[in-house]
């Protein structure tokens, strides 16, 4: 006797299939395309509604070739000083004085706007219509928008800037308008369009101008790179150019300040000296005429000349005292930069000059730290302490210079007193003449000296050049940096692709169902003996058509035949076989599979009987178009004989026993000895006894039938059965000691979305290596089967 073949459970070997991964995403390419389309629409809206921002560039060069060369002339120290100086000058550039003066050079008083479908655009520098300001309050005037609308060549309408919802009031061109505490007239015709305008002050543009950025243009250079961003590219360029010009002018004024102060002091002294020199000259001439004095003696002339020299030295010392006072005021006023006047440059010792240089460096560092930390932070306090120490040293040096100067003045005053005493020894007439001559000569010498110093100071002021020069002026850049449309669209395509692929992965991740044989093979060691394809046409609810017979050349029919072929290898030692078909839950197609297996077995002249053993919810009788008033439940309960309920289907050559009325004890009836004897008797008369049972996941009715059967088929339906269903055959085999369980995957389709991304390697054994079967994917167009309906997008395969 031939030994019965057992279905041994062996693990399978599976490998990642990259083509299947591609097919997963390609199966829902329209999801990805839809996400890309939505992302592009959102990107288009973003590009349309994003306010453009433009950036323009310019450059300034610091005129000092070496702002502070270190003693060892090392390059790193010099680079640090350049960086330090550029950072210090950036604060000057962004100062309110420079900004306001730069704005004053622009046409800032009136701004014009044009409202479009999406946004309102500033029209600077264009002036669509002329407005004449007649009277304007410098502070209290409305800064709202004046909406205007042209009516005809002579009239227009204008709105109240303080009430945007108010009706527009008509006016004539050239008519004086009083609105918003302003008095103005519109002189030229307003073009067609939604125009508006507003009045401004210089302070309204400070915020826009303050966005200027200052940085080093390159390493090891003293060139500053300036940039300004704004919604109007022309305004950005004009504003940046105005800021650079004003900064150069401001720097020149600051450098010339010491020389101009010296000139102003000398002018004030010259006015007095000129008057005194005129008076003394007239008095001397009158005295000589009245007293008939021709000239002084040699000794007396020398005395007069000596006195004039002392007075000249005294004037020089007073001018130097002015320079010392200016330096002291700068130190005490806590300025950001201390500048040494021209009058003291030759008088300063090396120690004081070094201290002033150190102070300027610390002041610059303090500004930098204040931009990074608060005034109470430790780094700022440390610099403040260093500044205080340096200032103390400078004040000591200034005190010593002032004391030395004052000591010299006292010495000269003593010399002048001695000369005056020597004059008092000569006769009275000559003594008066000497005094008048001395006064006249002193005034002339002082006037001559002051004139020379004034000319010298004016020449020095004229020779001073600004500490910076414009290298490149700014030009409008019409390329928006706020929203690069190419980058936005590229990002939208990438985002749409990512979202589409992520959606596919999310759907797969949330999917709890089994779809293909690889999923079954990965979840259980129970072998699969076949995959039944999903029938492409409509199937009625009652399964009245035996589908494998109705379309014998379909891929579906061939997949059923594959299961039939593999069934012949199960329990092959027996001439007739009892085959039990079950599933986890209802709706997985166990009755459908049983019916089609019966039909294919009948086609090869096998004597087949089909038993509807689901005594609770069977619908098989509807497929044979018979009633269910009597059947298996009637036979098991003794109400009818087998011959009374047996139905012979001559068309399909299948015998059929319906389930009969629903009994109160279906499980007990199936456990009876009568049921066992019934199966044994039918086994003797038929080649195949197919038993359609109740779902084992819901009720236990099928258990006694499973234990009596030669072959048990567990049906898993693609897309309906959850992953837990694959573990049930192993549990049944383990609990009841069965080795004749096999799985049939039902209603398999070509949807690759839920398919697994790995392929079973049967060359290594395990799993289903004993049985050959196919899922027939991609074979429908081989010419061996009836052609299935083409997809809408497979236009090249349509006739």
Contact 691, 487 (CB under 8 A): no
Q: What are 325-378's pLDDT values in tens digits?
A: 777 777 777 655 666 554 555 555 556 777 777 777 777 777 777 767 787 888
Query: Per-residue confidence at 522, pLDDT binned at 50, 70, 90?
Result: confident
Q: What are 616-643's pLDDT values in tens digits?
A: 988 888 888 899 999 999 999 999 999 9
Cα(438)–Cα(422) distance, integer angstroms: 13
Torsion angle, CA of 449/450/451/453, rounded to 10 degrees?
90
The CA radius of gyration of the chain, in Å to the nearest whole number, is 55
Q: What are 490-514's pLDDT values in tens digits?
A: 999 999 999 999 999 999 889 899 9
User: pLDDT above 70 covers what percent of the chain?
Assistant: 81
Residues in the chain, total: 799
- Quote the pLDDT of residue 799: 45
In terms of Cα–Cα distance, which of 767, 727, 740 is closest to 11?
A: 767
Q: What are 157-216's pLDDT values in tens digits?
A: 999 998 888 889 999 999 999 988 889 999 999 999 899 999 999 989 998 999 899 988
In sequence order, the β-bridge partners of residue 185 are 132
Contact 329, 308 (CB under 8 A): no
Ramachandran quadrant class, 158 (left: phi over 0; alpha: psi -120 to 50; beta: rest): beta
Q: What ranges make up the beta strands (E) of 213-281?
A: 213-216, 223-230
- Quote the pLDDT of residue 78: 41
Sign of CA dihedral 774, 779, 785, 786: positive
Cα(30)–Cα(769) distance, integer angstroms: 37
Cα(506)–Cα(527) distance, integer angstroms: 30
Q: Which is more confidently placed, 651 or 337?
A: 651
Q: Which is more confidently placed, 2 or 194?
A: 194
Query: Per-residue confidence at 119, pLDDT binned at 50, 70, 90?
Result: confident
Tokens in use for 222?
């003293």
Please state the rounded mean pLDDT for residues 49-61: 91
In terms of Cα–Cα distance, which of 321, 330, 320 is closest to 356?
A: 330
pTM confidence score: 0.62
Pairing of strands 182-186, 131-136: antiparallel
């Amino acid at each position: 006797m031939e030994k019965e073949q057992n279905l041994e459970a062996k693990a399978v070997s599976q490998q990642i299939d990259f083509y299947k991964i591609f097919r997963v995403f390609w199966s829902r390419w329209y999801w990805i395309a839809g996400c890309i389309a939505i992302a592009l629409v959102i990107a288009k809206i973003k590009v349309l509604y994003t306010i453009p921002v433009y950036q323009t560039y310019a450059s300034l060069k610091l005129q000092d070739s070496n702002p502070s060369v270190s003693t060892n002339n090392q390059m790193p120290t010099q680079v640090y000083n350049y960086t330090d100086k550029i950072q210090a000058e950036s604060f000057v550039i962004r100062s309110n004085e420079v900004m306001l003066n730069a704005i004053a050079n622009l046409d800032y008083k009136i701004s014009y706007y044009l409202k479009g479908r999406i946004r309102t655009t500033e029209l600077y520098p264009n002036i669509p219509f002329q407005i004449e300001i007649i009277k304007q309050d410098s502070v209290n005037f409305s800064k709202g928008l004046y909406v205007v609308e042209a009516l005809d060549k002579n009239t227009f309408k204008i709105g109240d800037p303080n009430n945007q919802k108010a009706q527009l009031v008509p006016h004539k061109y050239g008519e004086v308008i009083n609105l918003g505490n302003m008095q103005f007239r519109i002189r030229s015709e307003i073009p067609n369009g939604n125009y508006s305008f507003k009045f401004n002050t210089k302070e309204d543009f400070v915020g826009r101008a303050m966005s200027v950025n200052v940085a080093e243009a390159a390493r090891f250079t003293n060139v500053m790179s300036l940039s300004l961003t704004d919604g109007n590219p022309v305004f950005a360029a004009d504003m940046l150019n105005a800021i650079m010009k004003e900064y150069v002018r401001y720097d020149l004024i600051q450098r010339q300040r010491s020389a101009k102060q010296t000139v102003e002091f000398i002018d004030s002294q010259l006015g007095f000296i000129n008057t005194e020199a005129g008076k003394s000259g007239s008095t001397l001439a009158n005295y000589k005429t009245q007293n008939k004095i021709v000239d002084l003696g040699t000794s007396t002339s020398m005395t007069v000349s000596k006195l004039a020299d002392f007075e000249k030295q005294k004037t020089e010392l007073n001018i130097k005292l002015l320079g010392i006072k200016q330096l002291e005021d700068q130190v005490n006023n806590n300025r950001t930069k201390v500048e040494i006047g021209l009058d003291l440059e030759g008088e300063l010792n090396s120690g004081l000059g070094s201290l002033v240089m150190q102070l300027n460096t610390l002041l610059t560092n303090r500004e930098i730290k204040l931009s990074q930390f608060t005034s109470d932070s430790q780094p700022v306090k440390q610099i403040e302490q260093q500044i205080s120490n340096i200032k103390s040293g400078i004040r000591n040096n200034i005190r010593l210079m002032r004391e030395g100067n004052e000591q010299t003045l006292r010495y000269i005053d003593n010399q002048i007193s001695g000369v005056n005493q020597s004059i008092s020894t000569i006769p009275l007439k000559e003594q008066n003449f000497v005094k008048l001559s001395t006064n006249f000569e002193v005034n002339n010498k002082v006037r001559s000296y002051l004139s020379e110093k004034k000319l010298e100071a004016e020449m020095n002021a004229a020779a001073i050049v600004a500490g910076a020069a414009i290298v490149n002026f700014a030009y409008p850049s019409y390329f928006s940096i706020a929203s690069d449309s190419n980058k936005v669209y590229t990002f939208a395509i990438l985002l749409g692709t990512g979202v589409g692929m992520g959606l596919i992965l999310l759907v797969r991740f949330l999917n709890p169902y089994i779809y293909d044989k690889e999923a079954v093979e990965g979840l259980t060691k129970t072998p699969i003996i076949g995959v039944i394809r999903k029938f492409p046409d409509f199937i009625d609810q009652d399964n009245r058509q035996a589908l494998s017979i109705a379309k014998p050349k379909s891929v579906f029919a061939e997949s059923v035949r594959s299961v039939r072929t593999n069934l012949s290898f199960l329990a092959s030692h027996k001439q007739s076989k009892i085959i039990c078909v079950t599933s986890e839950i209802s709706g997985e197609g166990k009755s459908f599979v049983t019916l089609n297996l019966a039909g294919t077995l009948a086609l090869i002249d096998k004597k087949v009987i089909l038993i509807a053993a689901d005594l609770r919810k069977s619908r098989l009788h509807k497929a044979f178009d018979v009633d269910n008033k009597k059947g298996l439940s009637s036979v098991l309960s003794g109400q009818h004989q087998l011959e009374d309920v047996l139905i012979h289907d001559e068309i399909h050559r299948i015998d059929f026993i319906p389930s009969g009325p629903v009994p109160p004890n279906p499980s007990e009836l199936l456990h009876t000895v009568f049921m066992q004897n019934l199966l044994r008797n039918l086994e003797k008369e038929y080649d195949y006894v197919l038993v359609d049972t109740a779902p084992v996941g819901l009720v236990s009715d099928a258990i006694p039938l499973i234990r009596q059967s030669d072959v048990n088929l567990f049906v898993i339906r693609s897309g309906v059965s959850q992953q837990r269903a694959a573990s049930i055959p192993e549990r049944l085999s383990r609990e009841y000691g069965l080795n004749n369980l096999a799985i049939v995957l039902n209603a398999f389709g070509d949807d690759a979305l839920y398919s697994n991304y790995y392929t079973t390697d049967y060359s290594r054994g395990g799993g289903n290596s004993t049985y050959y079967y196919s899922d027939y994917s991609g074979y429908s167009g081989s010419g061996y089967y009836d052609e299935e309906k083409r997809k809408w997008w497979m236009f090249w395969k349509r006739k």
